[in-house]
Amino acid sequence: MERNEIVRVLRELVAESLALKPERVRPESRLVTDLGADSLDFVDLLFGIEQRFGVRIAEGDFAFVARLDLSSPAIMRDGRLTPETVKRIREWLPALGTVGDPAAVTPAQVFSMITIETLALLVEKRLAAGGSLA
């Protein structure tokens, strides 16, 4: 399945799940900040992804954030992620590209950066792996 098709289906799914007009949901829409999703909405979205794509996205798939060793000075300094860390996780969180100062990103901001595009990247990864959970 092509990325454009994945994004289209995800936009529909998110619009349905959050009771939003489809045109309000864009690939760069941040689920929490822009669309008002909460933790229960995430559960609903992950279930919908499994139903529509036949792949399972688990909390562990967001490990690119969870695995950050926040005690390491290479990862975090003065309560903020280092620019190098931001650059590394930007692959999965394209919204980080909109941050004016990469040296000012806090760990709390990271989850607010999950977008439709982030979900598309995860779905694409799962589909490429044959839907496996590995």
Question: What is the chain's pLDDT, residue by residue, as a tens digit (134 residues)?
Answer: 899 999 999 999 999 999 999 999 999 999 999 999 988 998 899 999 999 999 988 766 766 666 777 788 888 899 899 998 888 888 888 888 888 888 889 888 888 888 999 999 999 988 988 864 44
Q: DSSP character for 73?
A: T
- CATH top-level class of 3-128: mainly alpha
User: What residue ranges do the domains of the chain occupy?
Assistant: 3-128
pLDDT digits (tens, 9 = 90+) for 95-119: 888 888 888 898 888 888 889 999 9
All residues at 6 or more sequence positions from 78 whose CB lies less than 8 Å from its CB, including other chains:
none
Q: Where are the alpha helices (DSSP H) in 18-115?
A: 39-53, 63-66, 83-89, 107-110
